[in-house]
Amino acid sequence: MPRRCSLTFFFLATFVISPLTSVVGQQRPWSTMLPQELVELDLAARLRFDKNATTMASTDFGHLTQVLPAAVLYPSSVQDISTLVKSSFSSYLPFSIAARGQAHSLKGQVMAHNGVVIHMGSLNQTQEIRINVSSSPPNFYADVGGEQIWIDVLSATLRHGLSPPSWTDYLYLSVGGTLSNAGISGQTFLHGPQISNVYELDVVTGKGKIVTCSKQHNSKLFYAVLGGLGQFGIITRARIALHPAPQKVKWAHLLYKDFSAFTRDQEHLISSNNGEGFDYVEGSLIRDESDLDDWRSFFSEKDKEKIRSLLATNHLIYHIEATKYYDNVTAPTVDKKVDSLLKGLSFIPGFALKNDSSYVGFLNRVHDGELKLRRKGLWEVHHPWMNIFVPKSRISDFNEGVFKKIERNSTTGPVFVYPMNQNKWDERMSAVIPEEDVFYNVLFLRAAKNDWEYLEDQNKKILSFCVKAGIKAKEYLPHYTTKKGWKDHFGPKWSKFVERKKSFDPKGLLSPGQKIFTSMPWQRK
């Protein structure tokens, strides 16, 4: 076989002609079957084909599916990633490639059947977070590797008294992973999703090119990749906006019996903020003791007893969390400020509960819950989660049809319900949201050791209800199995999405687990 044969032929020889053990047992080193440039760069030494590596890369956080790759690449540099993609792109029989960060996907989106999964975390050994504090706009930013996790970004920026303004609720996610979706939380109404807080990206495209892009340079790629579900390139660096970091958080919890009051107050809290209102607003459901236990670190036993009495006469309690950031200078006035912001709201009298937290403690609050679940063996279980964006005009109908009926007896994990402002999103990016000025994120954090299929059926019932009721909801972290499903999801953006794929990944190498492009129609003759 010629020395410059493609990596694909090596995969075929390994996985079709003979098992891996017999190939390894041959006298001729298997690295000689790689393209010459891979051998010279010693990329072969960072490709693993053993069962331990491929099995690790065959599952994700959802634990709902298993897809075995042919190999796993442990890159030591961005150039390694580029070389791998170029090898596939130039091959007669290209192989698929998926970038794996923290693998917090749910249905195999970071997997590559019989392809190569890139273990992005191995770049952590060579990449560092670089902080820039310049005197000209953008005033503050951090250059962050796509493989970095947000908790490390937070730690590094806080050393300079700075912090990204927009977060996800869980910080142990990779930068490239959240920017490939959107990155949302209770700050989104004010600062926009994480994709709205990026100045510049380095991306390895589906052709293997390393491209720096921004709103001003290579803007088509920049807008495509942000929220692009990994379809157009692998994010290897992001320049993230930073703001001066607060020190502490005043944390208020408000309880409601009435859904209309609950949503009306949330919508009021996210409107006309001008930096003077709350910095974070999220709503959720309290249905029974299990939901109440999610907040055991906040509520006192006395508070819990009062809430239990409410649950005895109300099947469903609605709950708003709102926080105001402050520092040592503003500490003397923060209580007065929060009390002012709460005036006129319609929460149950006596159920505006407040306490203080450190800024880091608040942002990293979900990690405490993770550690408790890990100790109980309840973290590495099935997670048939579902996120959907529901237009403000139909959120009441959603409450009646879903929370009060379909989900009436379901208590398999927290449910969050909170609004966001459309004007904080950039329509030029690939992410899809409802066509209303205000829309709600509804998040079902389901978990099950065994009977997860039942929970998936619940998700299908909810989506079916939305279709039948004419609720134009959009899935976040979407997963469809048909082309029609994806076309309906992207709606007017579909044709642009296809054109972007044709431009930046014309052979359809990247992120095959999304199952958006099962064929490349433009390649047909």
Average pLDDT over residues 98-103: 97
Q: What is the mean pLDDT of residues 433-437?
A: 97
Query: What per-residue confidence (pLDDT) applies to 258?
Result: 96
Please state, rounded to an integer, the average pLDDT across all residues of the chain: 88
Rounded Cα distance, 61 and 153, in Å: 22
Q: Read off the pLDDT of each residue in 6-12 and give the average, rounded to a whole number.
A: 41
Type of residue at 57 = A
**pLDDT of 27 strictly over 60:** no
Lowest-confidence range among 115-129, 229-243, 499-513? 115-129
Complete domains list, the chain, with CATH? 7-122 (3.30.43.10), 127-244 (3.30.465.10), 247-379 (3.40.462.10), 381-479 (3.40.462.10), 483-510+518-523 (no CATH)
User: CA nearest 357: which of 248, 267, 194, 283?
Assistant: 248
Give the pLDDT score at 21.
30
User: Any idea what DSSP says for residue 33?
Assistant: G
State the pLDDT at residue 256. 97
pLDDT of 128: 75
CA distance 400 to 209: 50
DSSP state of 510: B
Let me know: does 455 contact 448? Beta carbons within 8 Å.
yes
Q: Which of 60, 80, 147, 169 is catalytic?
A: 169
The answer to whether residue 31 scores a pLDDT higher than 80 is no
Indicate if the alpha-carbon torsion angle 493, 171, 359, 257 is positive or negative: positive
**Cβ contacts of residue 212 below 8 Å, gap of 6+?**
200, 201, 202, 203, 218
Radius of gyration for the alpha carbons in the chain, expressed in angstroms and rounded? 24
Name the band, by pLDDT with cuts 50, 70 and 90, for residue 16: very low
pLDDT at 24: 30
Catalytic annotation present for 265 = no
Tens digits of residue pLDDT in 257-277: 999 999 999 999 999 666 789
Q: List, in sequence order, the alpha helices (H) in 25-149.
A: 36-40, 51-56, 78-89
Whether 169 is a known active-site residue: answer: yes
pLDDT of the residue at 30? 40
Which position among 60, 282, 291, 407 bears the catalytic label?
282
- Tell me the pTM: 0.91
Q: Is the dihedral of CA 369, 372, 373, 374 positive or negative?
A: positive
Q: What is the pLDDT of residues 135-194, one digit of tens each?
A: 555 679 999 999 999 999 999 999 999 999 999 999 999 999 999 999 999 999 999 999
